[in-house]
């Protein structure tokens, strides 16, 4: 939705009169903002001047506006707070659009303050003018163009409310320069609920009872949890664990939901979807009752829709009612916050007198264990050429040995999927990746935002040599703020996922997927005042990882991996979610399962 600001709910007007720039900063302070990621320009210089004259809010100077939004996303996703971005008009705002769409698709709360030409020049093709509200209408949860300074503070307060309540998302506030220079009253945040936007957080009791009745009567149940559980806060993840363990059901996570349920728990089936595990995808297809909580039935999970889990009853719990029945028709709809839904289901489960069919559940687990026996993520590391799976697994194992609080970001491609498959997450908010939009260049600036939020934590960007170059300029930001981010490049000299699709689906015609003329990443790191490491042999991998982790500053570790390795399992485009391509040498190659849960090979 988009709007030139209508009269929002007014708070208590104080006697203070401020410039527009001061009003914005005061509103940000009142909202608890500590950090802004931004890049200056003419239209926002009044705001930068006001920033210079205060010390409450820290500003991080990025090297590109897209990176500012990704950094704010990393900050938001690792803290649960709202990320804040400040960019100038025209190209500053348009450069931010990719990040805004990324935040929209992955439900990340971000406030983006954009400069605009003075109100009397809007629509006149003035220097560095763009129709920011028009451009960002489909890229944001909501946006505003402020033309009345008396409504400026209340607009900022409302933007925060909209961004973080209900399904989170990005909000743009377009700020004409004359509004920033002019003077007006400061309005405090309203204490009463918003008059029109009041998302439902408490689930309907009858829907909860219906969901519990279905699950208690199930013989082959499964819990499918997504990023909505992460967004609902750490308590929601704790409640998910409690519910899954008390019911004895298997649990799988989406790409965005990794960490919502501990990866080492025996009831965890791994990630599901296009590159999910054999057992997760077949259990989703063969289940008779499915509980989806905080996920949106996206195409990378469902595969071909008319073949998606055809024999199951489906329960969908989501805070966004528009997501329910959008892609997949469900039998029970539960609208509410994921944490409150789980709390209600735990209580209803305890109170419901129906007995669970434990015998059938035991049989279901025997079937799942047969699928697990396929060992779909097995690989063989032989010789000196480094398998990318091995590189990620050793990175995971060595960081676990160290016992440090570790946050992982990724770029997009094969390395992203290997990271999801082989790097285990025991807690929420430790995994930051671009899910819905699949934005190459996401990982490095996101890691920057995470490191700002958690200065003492270990932050690693697992990258590909193609994706990392999309926002490589942010190495300058790492240098300026002495951010000890580690970049772990799986370098196969290809746009790996593009090459894989070309091999499997386009007759091995590798059209423009070879990354020719790559830089020397060691020298590139050194040019940005960072440490550069290159590892080319498997026997040197552990030492290279330990050297990277031991260095107190930023590092680029260039890990030369097998050039022709593919990421499996894989659901081909247009296939059903039980039609997986397995790694060469694994029995069957393409596998399936009947509606009754029996394996087809």
- Would you please indicate which residues are annotated as catalytic (active-site) residues? 65, 127-128, 177, 497
532-547 b/e with 16+ CB inside 10 Å = b? bbbbeebebbeebbee
Q: 104, 141 in Cβ contact below 8 A?
A: yes
CA nearest to 398, candidates 322, 486, 292: 486
Pairing of β 13-19 and β 183-187: antiparallel
- Rounded Cα distance, 107 and 486, in Å: 26
What whole-number distance in Å separates Cα of residue 525 and Cα of residue 463? 14
Q: How many CB atoms lie within 10 A of CB 196?
A: 8
- Pick the closest to residue 378 from 475, 233, 278 (CA basis): 278
Please name which of 410, 430, 406 lies closest in space to residue 418, comparing C-alpha atoms.
Answer: 410
The Cα-based distances of 418 to 23, 424, 566 in angstroms read 46, 11, 10
Strand pairing report for 142-145 and 3-4 = parallel
For residues 480 and 572, what is the distance between their CA atoms, to the nearest angstrom?
44
The rounded distance, in Å, linking the Cα atoms of 166 and 319 is 6
**Left if phi > 0, otherwise alpha if psi is -120 to 50, otherwise beta: which for 589?**
left
316, containing H or E segment: strand 313-318
Q: Are 169 and 100 in contact (CB under 8 A)?
A: no
| Residue 590 parent element (H or E) | strand 590-593
């Amino acid at each position: 939705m988009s709007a030139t600001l209508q009269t929002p709910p007014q708070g208590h007007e104080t006697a203070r009169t401020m410039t527009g720039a001061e009003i914005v900063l005061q509103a940000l302070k009142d909202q608890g903002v500590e950090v802004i990621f931004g890049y200056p320009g003419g239209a926002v210089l009044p705001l930068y001047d006001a920033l210079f004259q205060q010390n409450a809010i820290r500003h991080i100077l990025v090297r590109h506006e897209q990176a500012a939004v990704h950094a704010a996303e990393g900050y938001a996703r690792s803290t649960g707070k709202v990320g804040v971005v400040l960019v100038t008009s025209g190209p500053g705002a348009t450069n931010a659009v990719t990040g805004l769409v990324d935040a929209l698709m992955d439900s990340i709360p971000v406030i983006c303050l954009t400069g605009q030409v003075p109100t009397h020049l809007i629509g006149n093709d003035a220097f560095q003018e763009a129709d920011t509200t028009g451009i960002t209408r489909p890229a944001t949860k909501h946006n505003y163009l402020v033309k009345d300074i008396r409504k400026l503070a209340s607009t900022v307060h409302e933007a925060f409310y909209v961004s973080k309540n209900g399904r989170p998302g990005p909000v743009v506030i377009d700020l004409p320069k004359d509004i920033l220079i002019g003077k007006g009253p400061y309005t405090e945040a309203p204490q009463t609920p918003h008059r029109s936007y009041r998302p439902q957080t408490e689930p309907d009791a009858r829907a909860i009872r219906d969901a519990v009745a279905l699950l208690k009567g199930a013989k082959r149940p499964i819990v499918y949890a997504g990023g909505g559980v992460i967004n609902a806060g750490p308590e929601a993840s704790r409640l998910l664990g409690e519910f899954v363990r008390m019911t004895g059901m298997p649990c799988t996570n989406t790409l965005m939901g990794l960490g919502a349920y501990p990866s080492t728990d025996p009831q965890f089936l791994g990630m599901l979807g296009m590159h999910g595990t054999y057992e997760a995808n077949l259990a989703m297809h063969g289940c008779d009752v499915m509980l989806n909580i905080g996920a949106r039935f996206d195409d990378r999970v469902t595969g071909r829709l008319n073949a998606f889990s055809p024999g199951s009853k489906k329960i969908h719990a989501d805070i966004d009612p528009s997501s329910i029945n959008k892609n997949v028709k469900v039998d029970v709809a539960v609208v509410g916050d994921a944490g409150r839904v789980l709390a209600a289901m735990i209580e209803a489960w305890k109170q419901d007198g129906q007995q669970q069919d434990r015998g059938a559940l035991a049989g279901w687990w025997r079937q799942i264990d047969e699928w697990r026996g396929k060992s779909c993520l097995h690989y063989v590391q032989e010789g000196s050429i480094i398998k990318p799976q091995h590189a990620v697994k050793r990175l995971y194992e060595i960081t676990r040995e160290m016992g440090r609080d570790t946050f992982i970001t990724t770029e997009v491609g094969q390395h992203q999927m290997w990271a999801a498959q082989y790097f285990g997450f025991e807690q929420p908010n430790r995994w930051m990746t671009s899910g819905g939009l699949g934005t190459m260049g996401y990982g490095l600036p996101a890691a920057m935002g995470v490191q700002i939020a958690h200065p003492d934590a270990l932050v690693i960007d697992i990258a590909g040599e193609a994706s990392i170059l999309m926002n490589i300029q942010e190495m300058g930001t790492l240098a300026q703020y002495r951010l000890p981010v580690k970049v772990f490049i799986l370098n196969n000299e290809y746009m790996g996922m593009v090459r894989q699709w070309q091999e499997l689906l386009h007759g091995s015609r590798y059209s423009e997927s070879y990354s020719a003329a790559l830089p020397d990443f060691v020298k590139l790191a050194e040019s940005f005042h960072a440490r550069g490491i290159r590892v080319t042999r498997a026997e040197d991998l552990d030492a290279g990882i330990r050297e990277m982790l031991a260095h107190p500053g930023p590092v680029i570790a260039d890990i030369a991996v097998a050039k022709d390795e593919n990421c499996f399992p894989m659901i081909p485009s247009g296939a059903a979610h039980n039609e997986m391509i397995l790694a060469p040498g694994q029995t069957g190659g393409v596998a399936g399962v009947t509606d009754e849960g029996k394996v087809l090979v």
